[in-house]
Structure 1
Amino acid sequence: MLKQLLRTKVISAHADSELKKCLSAFDLALLGIGCAIGTGIFVLTGIAAATQSGPAVVLSFIIAGVASGFAALAYAELAASVGGSGSAYGYSYVAFGEFIAWVMGWILLLEYGVGAAAVANGWAGYFVNTLSNFNVHLPDAVTKAPMMGGLINLPAFAIIWVLTILLVIGVKESARFNNIIVIIKLSTIAIFIALASAHLNTDNWQPFMPFGWFSTLEDGRNIGVLAGASLVFFAYFGFDAVSTAAEEAKNPQRDLPIGLLSSLVFCTIVYIVVSGLLTGIVPYSELNVSSPVAYALSRLGHTWSSTLVATGVLAGLITVLLVLLYGLTRILFSMSRDGLISPIFSKVNPDRKTPTRIIFMCGAIVSLVAGFIPLGQLAETVNIGTLASFVMVCVGVIVLRIRQPNLPRPFKNPWNPLIPVLGIISCGALMSFLPASTWIRFGSWILVGIVFYFAYSMHHSKLNLLHKHKG
């Protein structure tokens, strides 16, 4: 009872936040769309269709979307009832206690931190290629990491700092910038849909499911609709960043569920339409290329398509980066406020109402990783981290319904506990389809986090200090 009391006191202290409450439901929805729609729609759709799902990649997106939907309903309930800027970390703190919350926060650092560095690398690649289309060629020394034969990936390094400065200026300004860029990339997608709809050939959808539901090849590679779902799940990565904005939302109890669910539904519809059209205008077997959307449009005779896609990708990745960095800073801000990392990072700038110290720290670390370390397959671990956080949030809904039945819940999951149970099963199943190497890297990351917890966090946490004071 004492630990529960102390835990509640720590969480309730978060209610009086120094952060500026300025985000509307519309801002939150575009925040989710900004993070979810990136390279997945321009690249992943073609690769998944060609190598794993065929035209049934539409089903892969639906399966991944349904699994994310169950998790989104769980997020919506906890965001409305628990709140706080820590997302799944904060929810785990209330439901399970400090240790599980730390592990969850450590997983989120992988999801957002490594994800941001990986996306910065991807953005830099498209940026360099776009410049080359205009006969502007940057030397390898400033476009490749040292391990790749260069000195620094300067575009990746620089874009992180540009967005870091934007976040320091203020969250409302960052949201306005995100909204503008989201409109640009959605316009790009709308142009593709209009062009592709006029050339749809349903014969390309036959056979619809050439690789079946699921099977493993001799080389260990998984194929089929379900394997494709675990791959395209990356396209849904990041919509949960909406929940990190709880303390800066004008009316979080109402607006967070709206932002979470509307962004997920919108993105799912876009993914289904684009993947269906892409496989309907070009045979799926031809789509295993670096830019399948540009390839498909060029097949239709639109030679300017590479510029269109480059615009969409560059705009898309900038918003993904912005929201990932935003989410990372708010999660670390919450962990710092609880004493699990140094409390100096939970200071809020009184003029800008932003946690400038943690923003600069995140900008420094992520820019160094993006600029000097080629991430390679480490980025794949982001998927399993995201799925693990979804599972824990679904479990948290069930646990809090039992432990704190009288907790005010402005938004409640329908058919509880069916929805969170289905979320646990579906997200857990998608995790099982990931390669063993991904599980090994994920386990190693968690072990490092546990060591850090027992070496530092456990001894400096506010919960531990309050417990000692009461004792």
Structure 2
Amino acid sequence: MRTKSIEATLRDAERPSTRLARSLGPLQLTMMGIGVTIGGGIFVLTGTAAANYAGPAIAVSFALGALTSGLVALCYMEFASTVPVAGSAYTFAYVSLGELAAWLIGWDLILDMTMGAGAVASGWSQYVADFLASFGVHLPASVAGPEAVVNVPAVLIILVLTAVLASGVRTTSRINTAMTLVKLAAILIFLCVGVFHIHTANWAPFVPDSQPPGGDGGVWEQPLLGWAGISTNATFGFAGILTGGAIVFGAYSGFDIMASSAEEAKRPQRTLPIALMATVVVCATLYVAVALVVTGMDHYTHLDNAAPVTAALKAVGADWAVRVVGIGAICGLTTVVMIMLLGQSRVFLAMSRDRLLPEWYSRVHPVTRSPRRITWTLGLLVAFMTAVLPIQDLAELGNIGMLTSFIAVCVGVMYLRRARPELRRGFRTPWVPFLPVVALLLCLLLVGSLPLITWARFLGWMAVGLLIYVLWGRRHSRVATGELAADGSDGEEGPDEEGGDGGHGQGGPDEAAPPVTTEPAPEPGGARS
């Protein structure tokens, strides 16, 4: 099993031509996590998942997703504080499970973030259309919204945000913080207005009776567990809650993307655990609250659209709030798309550094320290996918990719505890192996609740990825070519090919990665195990 040592991984993060700037503190990283987490789940998927799968019990689906993501986040904290470099689950898999597993997880993460960004961009387009309609400006349905032949506004926002990302992480962080504050204010306004328009009759029945899967997909619309005889329905009932949880689980992807930005965090051993857990707690509370209010304001059967929050406000005649919350939703979804595009570029960067993808992509701009080549390549790919795929297909494909990467992280934490017990860890996941096993089982339950058609598309994507690995990555990776020795040592990095001098760019001289130590860690206390 080809693996890459943690020591070599950390040294790679400091190579002059590919090094990112460490410029994110706890507040900036937490706001980034909230910025990407609060958005698609509240403003887009709440309605479609309630109408098609769980009914008012979508609040329970969000709570289940929060529990699962919280447990997985504890595993992420150990990895991200020990190996604080770009790549998230891909990097964690490489140092624990080996090269093939890392490649598949990296390819999987690209799917997750590409589809997730596309799904949220589609919802963004609908909110923009509704906002303009409140002023009497109506965009043609053929170019905006879920029925559009080509969703022009969604494609345009992806291209604009790609340009922002190419300008550097500091600019991205400032824009994200401003828009996230607007988004949080809009959510609070919605809750304050909506709570006075709740009709408890809309919550009855809270868990609608199970029904056979709808649509024309037949057996392909059944969940994997239903096909295996474990569950018979994907729509409503207990199975509907599970399927709804699997679909809205993508709403909690913020901590995964935060981990992919670990290389840009100051003092990552302290910053990452604080930011990760704060993101999960804040976002879970808001998700459950909004789910209860929106299904109480309007019957769940009326929420099957890409803008359920403003639709619920329209249903109760709160037109002024539609405009205010619409602005917040537009800002909120903008930050989600932006940070998802950021996360996928960092995973791609890590894979390119290891030469599992062409090394040409790993070069960063000498001034902004941003990977512009990757950013534009992936931005154009997301724009294309958004133009041709409907929102629900995008969301389900993104979630199956994320759940698969979470499973790898849970397994990797347990493996690395055995393989490298002496490794100093910035944070130690409590109750290993019990807690990672529980998180693993919950992830398996959710991923098994996704429809068979989603599994078929996912396996097709993974087959393409495996073919690329066999034809390119397996022979060109730095581990395969012997550039990295068995002990993880490698040669010295030459001059920056982009014209940089190997300086620190935006980050400054105080932003180097902390030195690696393999001395035994002190006896843990408190939350540590």
Verify the 8 A CA contact 2:396 2:450 in the aligned structure 1.
Answer: no
Gap change, CA 1:23 and 1:316, over 3 Å in 2: same
Query: Which residue pairs with 1:207 in the alignment?
Result: 205
Letter in 2 for 1:160: I
User: How far is the alpha carbon of 1:191 from its aligned partner?
Assistant: 0.3
Query: Which residue pairs with 1:38 in the alignment?
Result: 39
Q: 3-state SS of the aligned residue for 2:482?
A: helix
Gap change, CA 1:431 and 1:265, over 3 Å in 2: same
Of the structure 1 ranges 282-291 and 342-351, higher mean CA displacement relative to structure 2 is found in: 282-291
User: How far is the alpha carbon of 1:83 from its aligned partner?
Assistant: 1.9
Q: Hey, what's the Cα distance between the residues in 2 that align with 1:299 and 1:354?
A: 45
Superposed CA RMSD in Å reads 2.7
Greater helix share, structure number: 1
Q: 478, 484, 489: which one pairs with 1:462?
A: 478
Query: Which residue pairs with 2:345 in the alignment?
Result: 329
Letter in 1 for 2:460: S
Verify the 8 A CA contact 1:10 1:338 in the aligned structure 2.
Answer: no
**Is 1:319 matched with 2:339?**
no
Verify the 8 A CA contact 1:7 1:97 in the aligned structure 2.
Answer: no
Q: 3-state SS of the aligned residue for 1:119?
A: helix
- C-alpha offsets along residues 332-371 of structure 1, whole Å, 9 cap, x if unaligned? 1111110111111111212112122222222233233334
Query: Which residue pairs with 2:137 in the alignment?
Result: 136
Query: Which residue pairs with 1:49 in the alignment?
Result: 50
Q: Hey, what's the Cα distance between the residues in 2 that align with 1:7 and 1:342?
A: 21
**Is 1:24 matched with 2:25?**
yes
TM-score (norm 1): 0.90
User: How far is the alpha carbon of 1:407 from its aligned partner?
Assistant: 1.2
Letter in 1 for 2:191: I
Letter in 1 for 2:283: C
Q: Hey, what's the Cα distance between the residues in 2 that align with 1:409 and 1:228?
A: 35
Gap change, CA 1:379 and 1:293, over 3 Å in 2: closer
Letter in 2 for 1:390: F
1:325-364 matches, within 5 Å, as: 325-364=341-380
Q: Hey, what's the Cα distance between the residues in 2 that align with 1:299 and 1:148?
A: 24
Q: 3-state SS of the aligned residue for 1:465?
A: coil
User: How far is the alpha carbon of 1:95 from its aligned partner?
Assistant: 0.5
Gap change, CA 1:468 and 1:61, over 3 Å in 2: closer
1:38-437 matches, within 5 Å, as: 38-138=39-139, 143=144, 149=149, 153-202=151-200, 204-211=202-209, 216=212, 220=222, 222=234, 223-224=236-237, 225-371=241-387, 377-437=393-453
User: How far is the alpha carbon of 1:286 from its aligned partner?
Assistant: 4.2
Letter in 2 for 1:94: V
User: How far is the alpha carbon of 1:416 from its aligned partner?
Assistant: 1.2
Letter in 1 for 2:347: I
Tell me the number of residue pairs that the alignment of Structure 1 and Structure 2 aligns. Answer: 464
Identity %: 40
- C-alpha offsets along residues 30-51 of structure 1, whole Å, 9 cap, x if unaligned? 1111111113213432333344
User: How far is the alpha carbon of 1:378 from its aligned partner?
Assistant: 4.5
Q: Hey, what's the Cα distance between the residues in 1 that align with 2:294 and 2:350?
A: 42
Q: Hey, what's the Cα distance between the residues in 2 that align with 1:156 and 1:291?
A: 14
User: How far is the alpha carbon of 1:234 from its aligned partner?
Assistant: 2.8
Q: Hey, what's the Cα distance between the residues in 1 that align with 2:145 and 2:300?
A: 32
Gap runs ≥5 in structure 2: 223-232, 487-529
**Is 1:451 matched with 2:449?**
no
User: How far is the alpha carbon of 1:15 from its aligned partner?
Assistant: 4.3
Q: 3-state SS of the aligned residue for 2:480?
A: helix
Q: Hey, what's the Cα distance between the residues in 2 that align with 1:74 and 1:153?
A: 38
TM-score (norm 2): 0.81
Gap change, CA 1:289 and 1:321, over 3 Å in 2: closer
Q: Hey, what's the Cα distance between the residues in 2 that align with 1:422 and 1:229?
A: 16
Letter in 2 for 1:107: D
Verify the 8 A CA contact 1:52 1:211 in the aligned structure 2.
Answer: no
Verify the 8 A CA contact 1:52 1:227 in the aligned structure 2.
Answer: yes
User: How far is the alpha carbon of 1:140 from its aligned partner?
Assistant: 6.7
Q: 3-state SS of the aligned residue for 2:479?
A: helix
Gap change, CA 1:34 and 1:294, over 3 Å in 2: same
Letter in 2 for 1:14: D
Verify the 8 A CA contact 2:118 2:394 in the aligned structure 1.
Answer: no
Verify the 8 A CA contact 1:148 1:374 in the aligned structure 2.
Answer: no
Verify the 8 A CA contact 1:38 1:235 in the aligned structure 2.
Answer: yes
Q: Hey, what's the Cα distance between the residues in 2 that align with 1:169 and 1:378?
A: 27
Q: Hey, what's the Cα distance between the residues in 1 that align with 2:410 and 2:173?
A: 28
User: How far is the alpha carbon of 1:200 from its aligned partner?
Assistant: 4.0
